[in-house]
């Protein structure tokens, strides 16, 4: 039997309204903050990700879908949103439009992972990237946007974890101290952490293995090492969060899996029984050097990526509403084949104004009405021999069963007046 590739999912017709609901909310929130949508290709030259995400990261070291195209160019399916957006920002000289700039995207993301609940090979992210300010105000807006989105969906029990990973000036001192700590406890760490310790010790803090996590509780804290400017940046951001009544916790173990971050990093984490380690719904932070590294001017940035599948799983778990599938408004029902042509004409007229479903395959009235319920129509418009003869249509409310017979010409003149 043909099957979809492991770790991917079809979004089926009876579920797609949930996606539309979340995507609509994402757009509404982004627009409320003055962010514009950017759409980049689903694949890029591998270089875009290889050089900018960082060679020691999980994504680059083992998760990318990379292949040679027919022209022998190395291509990679988008494994995260930021590098692609920055590539486009630089290439299209978007900073000429003025700074700061606020962009958002909703995109599929591809990572070769071990599939489990909340971890797939194709998932989807809502992401936001702000360009053009080194001030904590920009960090605040981005965090606040993510917070408002989660609140708008009605999610409960999501906590914001915040950290500063310093800057290129103060971070090396911390890395030395962390490396010394790991060395002193090397036997306790997993094999992967032993490798990470040499390549990029910060990444050890990102390890999901319980024993490593436990040991790290006693490791030196980055907050004791960051410089005064980084400290100031963080304390000003925290003041704004407190002003906005957003609760947060400072968590020195949040480092984020990507190389390009500096200063602010944050995650929104759900306490979800079914998602476990996959409870992180959003990850983001400040990246001040990426635009320049990709050939642009030095432009400071902050952004986040939010996993839509994980959001959806938590919404289901918490019994939250995804709105209602709103299509179609009416179903047209014919009593017999003799009225089919009239009904087709009625549907054609009505579709200029409202959404209409109709089964045109000659089924019985009973099964047409069953279908009307199934597709969540609000009304059935019934035409039988009487209606045909009298130039009328019977409107039946599918919520309370109330019926009325109205003049067809009048109805077509202003259908919405009859469908209250
Ligand atoms: P994790 O630590 O769980 O692997 P990550 O740090 O790799 O996450 P990011 O690169 O920050 O994740 O991606 C942003 C968000 O996208 C995550 O917080 C998560 O909600 C979602 N996400 C990441 N990878 C996957 C995946 N394989 N399947 C589903 N959602 C994912
Ligand atoms: Mg990951």
Once rounded to an integer, what is the mean pLDDT over residues 14-18?
Answer: 92
Residue nearest atom 26 in ligand 1 by C-alpha distance: 119
Distance 260 CA to ligand 2 centre (A): 15
pLDDT of residue 192: 86
Most ligand 1 atoms within 8 A of CB, residue of 253, 310, 312, 314 to mutate: 310
Q: What is the pLDDT of residue 392?
A: 97
Do the Cβ atoms of 357 and 372 come closer than 8 Å? Answer: yes
327 pLDDT band (50/70/90 cuts)?
confident
Instruction: Report percent pLDDT > 70 for the chain.
Output: 99
State residue 256's pLDDT score: 79
What does DSSP assign to residue 189? S
Quote the pLDDT of residue 198.
Answer: 81
pLDDT of residue 61: 85
- Tens of pLDDT, residue by residue over 214-249, are 998 899 999 899 999 999 999 999 999 999 999 999
pLDDT in tens, 245-266: 999 999 988 887 677 889 999 9
pLDDT at 258: 72
* pLDDT digit string, tens, across residues 37-69: 999 999 999 999 998 888 778 898 899 999 999
Question: Does residue 117 register a pLDDT over 80?
Answer: yes
CB-CB contact of 307 with 124 (8 Å): yes
Residues with CB under 6 A from ligand 1: 80, 111, 113, 118-120, 123, 125, 257, 278, 280-283, 305, 307, 309-310
pLDDT of residue 329: 86
Confidence of residue 14 (pLDDT cuts 50, 70, 90): confident
For 328-348, b where at least 16 C-beta lie within 10 A, e where not — what string? bbbbbbbbeeebbebbeebbe
Mean pLDDT over all residues of the chain?
A: 94
175's CB contacts (< 8 A; 6+ apart) are 201, 202
What confidence score (pLDDT) does residue 1 get?
75
Query: Is the pLDDT reported for residue 399 higher than 80?
Result: yes
Q: Which of 82, 257, 307 to mutate to test the pocket of ligand 1 (most atoms within 8 A of CB)?
A: 307
User: How confident is the model over 115-143, as a mean pLDDT?
Assistant: 97
pLDDT reading at 283 higher than 80: yes
Task: Write down the pLDDT at residue 316.
Answer: 96
Please, which contacts does 285-290 make with residues 24 or more away whose CB atoms are closer than 8 Å? 285/165, 285/256, 285/261, 286/139, 286/261, 286/262, 287/82, 287/260, 287/261, 287/262, 288/134, 288/167, 288/262, 288/263, 289/168, 289/260, 289/262, 290/52, 290/82, 290/83, 290/86, 290/260
The number of the ligand 1 atom at minimal distance from the alpha carbon of 304 is 14
* Comparison of pLDDT for 274 and 345, the residue scoring more: 345
Among 283, 308, 313, which is best to mutate for testing ligand 1, by the most ligand atoms less than 8 A from CB?
Answer: 283
pLDDT at 373: 93
pLDDT digits (tens, 9 = 90+) for 194-208: 888 887 888 888 888
Distance CA 307, CA 315 (A): 12
């Amino acid at each position: 039997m043909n099957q979809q590739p492991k770790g991917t999912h079809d979004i089926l017709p009876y579920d797609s309204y949930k996606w539309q609901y979340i995507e609509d909310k994402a757009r509404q929130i982004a627009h409320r903050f003055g962010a514009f949508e950017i759409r980049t290709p689903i694949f890029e030259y591998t270089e875009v990700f290889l050089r900018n995400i960082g060679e020691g990261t999980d994504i680059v070291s083992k998760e990318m879908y990379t292949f040679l195209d027919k022209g022998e160019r190395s291509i990679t399916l988008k494994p995260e949103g930021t590098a692609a957006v920055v590539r486009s920002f630089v290439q299209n000289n978007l900073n000429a439009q003025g700074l700061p700039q606020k962009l958002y995207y909703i995109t599929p993301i591809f990572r070769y992972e071990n599939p489990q609940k909340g971890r797939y090979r194709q998932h989807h992210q809502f992401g936001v990237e702000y360009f053009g300010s080194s001030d904590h105000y920009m960090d605040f807006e981005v965090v606040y946007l993510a917070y408002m989105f989660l609140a708008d969906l009605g999610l409960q029990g999501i906590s914001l974890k915040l950290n500063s990973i310093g800057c290129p000036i103060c971070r090396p001192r911390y890395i030395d101290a962390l490396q010394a700590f790991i060395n002193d406890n090397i036997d306790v760490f997993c094999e992967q952490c032993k490798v990470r310790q040499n390549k990029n010790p910060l990444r050890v803090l990102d390890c999901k293995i319980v024993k490593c996590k436990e040991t790290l509780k006693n490791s030196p804290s980055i907050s004791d090492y960051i410089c005064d400017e980084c400290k100031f940046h963080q304390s000003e951001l925290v003041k704004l969060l407190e002003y906005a009544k957003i609760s947060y916790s400072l968590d020195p173990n949040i480092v984020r899996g990507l190389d390009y971050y500096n200063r602010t990093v944050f995650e929104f984490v759900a306490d979800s029984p079914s998602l476990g380690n996959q409870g992180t719904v959003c990850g983001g932070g400040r990246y001040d050097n990426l635009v320049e590294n990709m050939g642009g001017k030095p432009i400071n940035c902050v952004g986040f990526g939010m996993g839509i599948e994980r959001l959806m799983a938590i919404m289901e778990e918490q019994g939250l509403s995804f709105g209602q599938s709103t299509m179609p408004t009416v179903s047209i029902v014919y009593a017999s084949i003799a009225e089919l042509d009239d009904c087709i004409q009625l549907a054609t007229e009505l579709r200029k104004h409202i959404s209409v479903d109709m089964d045109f395959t000659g089924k019985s009235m009973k099964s047409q009405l069953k279908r009307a319920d199934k597709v969540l129509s609000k009304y059935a418009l019934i035409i039988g021999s009487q209606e045909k003869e009298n130039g009328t249509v019977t409107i039946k409310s599918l919520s309370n069963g109330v019926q009325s017979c109205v003049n067809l010409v009048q109805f077509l003149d202003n259908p919405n007046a009859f469908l209250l």
